């Protein structure tokens, strides 16, 4: 039986970052185990900090009151980075106040298209890294492809800096699950998906051999989760928590299904494992990726031992758009406090640079070059032409930067 998950401290920066931390703290039915030991939210906007609900008041920190007057930085990520550099001492105090010393890792969360999260997060990562000897991970929300062009430039510059300052960055694309203008309800659902996927990843991470380099250094990952009520578990009020609502559209179906109340045969269990694996490994992924270009795929099945005991996993058959090596499948169990009634699959796609990230970088470089001599808005109006001109087999722009994108700080 597993002992505990990898324990993390969360630092949410800006509106999206704060909301993601709020969502993390709201989940009480974790699939594997609750990975969170400490959390705070940092913003330049007083109102957005006040709008949070689960982050304790003492862990909501307003920065840059001299420059931003508590009203945010209005997408100016350079200003946000400047504030973070100026308020280093305060950031060190905030970190000292968190249980980072007892954590296995720190996770910084932000929407990369705005000002505060995009500008401050890389600076905070640099601060935390210099203070503590544990991995610092980034979780970045990429802006919708049809959002204001300044968001593209912000996201590209922030991601470039964030990668340099963190061990690994998890990417989620607002495009993948939402329309251009998500309403609050859509954001809430999106945030729950992000949080449950990443929380489950931290839940299983310590069940992987340490020499198995799960998260490549300075790499990028897309993380996808699928979860269902186990076929042999009767549905009760108790197992209809967040995961049932989010991941099991077939809840009513299973309720009506006699399988839901009977002992399932090993072949039914195997079919269900195949089904969750197939769904987790199939598009849409958390970011737009070309399935045939992915360098590394890690697949996990999470289910109680009793469920897996008589199931022959070597007989699994999966046909998905990405190349899978099922001999490397990680089998994980929930801890005693995790969900013992669910069968879940987690799929992590890792690369040094996904196509959608290269495209983001190219767009941003083109904008940056153009905006050096003309108004931003004029340059951005020409963006569709710039993109049309780009040949499909253009060499991938390195995210590590060849000096083309100006550093944030």
Ligand X SMILES: Nc1nc2c(ncn2[C@@H]2O[C@H](COP(=O)(O)OP(=O)(O)OP(=O)(O)O)[C@@H](O)[C@H]2O)c(=O)[nH]1
Nearest distance, CB of residue 306 and ligand X, angstroms: 36
Cβ distance to ligand X smaller for residue 190 or 273: 190
Q: Kindly list the distances between the CA atom of residue 172 and the CA atoms of 117, 160, 197, 232, 349, in Å, as whole numbers in the listed order.
A: 15, 16, 10, 33, 12
Of 63 and 264, which CB lies nearer to Mg ion in the complex structure?
A: 63
Closer residue to ligand X in complex, CB, 143/260? 143
Output the CA angle 45-50-51, nearest 5 degrees. Answer: 100
The one-character DSSP state at 322 is S
Give which of 344, 16, 396, 6 is closest to 172, Cα–Cα. 16
Letters for 71-110 (x = contact with Mg ion by CB under 5 A, - = none) are: -x--------------------------------------
Sign of CA dihedral 249, 252, 256, 262: positive
- Residues 246 and 197 sit within 8 Å (Cβ to Cβ): no
By CB under 5 A, tell whether 239 contacts Mg ion. Answer: no
∠ CA 196-4-202, nearest 5°, is: 35
CB of 3 vs ligand X, minimal distance in Å: 32
**Smallest separation (angstroms) from ligand X to the CB of 383:** 16
How many residues bind Mg ion (CB under 5 A)? The answer is 3
Shortest Cβ distance from residue 256 to ligand X (Å)? 34
Footprint on this chain of ligand X (rule: CB under 6 A): 14-16, 19, 44-45, 72-75, 111, 113-118, 141, 143, 147, 151, 174, 187, 190-191
By CB under 5 A, residue 224 contacts Mg ion: no
Q: How far is the CB of 200 from ligand X (least distance, A)?
A: 18
Q: State the Cα–Cα distance between residues 110 and 10, nearest whole angstrom.
A: 11
Identity of the residue, 183 or 402, whose beta carbon is nearer to ligand X in the bound complex: 183
Q: Binding to Mg ion by residue 15, rule CB under 5 A?
A: yes
Asked if residue 361 lies in contact with residue 156, where contact means CB atoms within 8 angstroms, the answer is yes
Residues 291, 281: contact at Cβ < 8 Å?
A: no
Tell me which residue has tokens 């007057």: 69
Closest distance of CB 70 from Mg ion, Å: 11
In the complex with ligand X, which residue's Cβ is closer, 45 or 272? Answer: 45
> Which among Mg ion, ligand X, none contacts residue 79 (Cβ within 5 to 8 A by kind)?
none
Token digits for 319? 């046909």
Q: What track of x and - describes contact with Mg ion for positions 270 through 299 (by CB under 5 A)? A: ------------------------------
Partner from ligand X, Mg ion, none contacting 219, C-beta within 5 to 8 A by type: none
Select 174 or 350, whichever has its Cβ closest to ligand X. 174
CB of 80 to Mg ion, least distance (A): 9
Q: Which of residues 39-68 bind Mg ion (CB under 5 A)?
A: 45
* Rounded-to-integer distance, Cα 161 and Cα 322, Å: 29
Tell me the two tokens of residue 33: 């185990």
**Cβ neighbours for 10, distance < 8 A, ≥ 6 positions apart:** 20, 21, 24, 36, 38, 39, 40, 106, 107, 109
Is the Cβ of residue 141 or residue 399 nearer to ligand X in the bound state?
Answer: 141
284 preceded by a cis bond (ω within 30 of 0): yes
CB of 37 to ligand X, least distance (A): 23
- Can you give the binding site for Mg ion, defined by CB under 5 A? 15, 45, 72
């Amino acid at each position: 039986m597993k002992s505990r998950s990898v324990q993390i401290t969360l630092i949410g920066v800006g509106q999206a970052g704060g909301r993601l931390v709020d969502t993390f703290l709201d989940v009480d039915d974790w699939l594997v185990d609750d990975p969170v030991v400490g959390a705070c939210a940092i913003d330049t906007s007083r109102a957005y900090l006040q709008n949070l609900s689960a982050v304790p008041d003492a862990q909501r920190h307003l920065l840059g009151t001299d420059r931003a007057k508590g009203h945010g930085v209005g997408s100016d990520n350079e200003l946000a980075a400047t504030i973070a550099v100026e308020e280093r001492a305060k950031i060190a105090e905030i970190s000292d106040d968190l249980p980072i010393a007892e954590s296995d890792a720190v996770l910084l969360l932000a929407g990369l298209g705005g000002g505060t999260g995009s500008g401050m997060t890389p600076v905070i990562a640099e601060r935390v890294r210099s203070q503590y000897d544990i991995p610092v991970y980034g979780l970045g929300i990429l802006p919708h492809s049809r959002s204001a062009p300044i968001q593209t430039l912000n996201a590209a510059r922030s991601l470039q800096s964030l990668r340099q300052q963190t061990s690994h960055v998890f990417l989620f694309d607002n495009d993948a699950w939402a329309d251009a203008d998500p309403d609050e309800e859509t954001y809430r659902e999106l945030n729950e998906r992000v949080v449950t996927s990443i929380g489950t990843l931290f839940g299983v991470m310590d069940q992987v051999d340490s020499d198995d380099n799960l998260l490549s250094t300075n790499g990028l990952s897309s993380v996808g989760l699928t979860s269902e009520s186990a076929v042999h578990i009767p549905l009760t009020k108790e197992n209809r928590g967040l995961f049932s609502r989010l991941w099991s559209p077939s809840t009513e179906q299973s309720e009506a299904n006699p399988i839901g109340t009977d002992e399932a045969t090993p072949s039914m269990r195997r079919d269900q494992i195949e089904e969750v694996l197939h769904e987790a490994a199939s598009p849409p992924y958390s970011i737009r990726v070309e399935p045939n270009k992915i360098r590394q795929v890690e697949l996990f099945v999470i289910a109680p031992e009793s469920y897996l005991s008589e199931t022959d996993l070597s007989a699994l058959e999966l046909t998905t758009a990405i190349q899978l090596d099922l001999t490397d499948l990680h089998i994980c169990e929930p801890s005693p406090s995790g969900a013992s009634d669910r069968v879940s699959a987690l799929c992590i796609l890792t690369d040094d640079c996904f196509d959608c990230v290269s495209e983001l970088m190219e767009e941003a470089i083109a904008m940056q070059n153009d905006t050096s001599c003309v108004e931003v808005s004029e340059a951005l109006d020409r963006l569709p032409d710039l993109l049309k001109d780009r040949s499909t087999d253009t060499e991938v722009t390195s995210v590590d930067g060849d000096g083309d994108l100006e550093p944030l700080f």
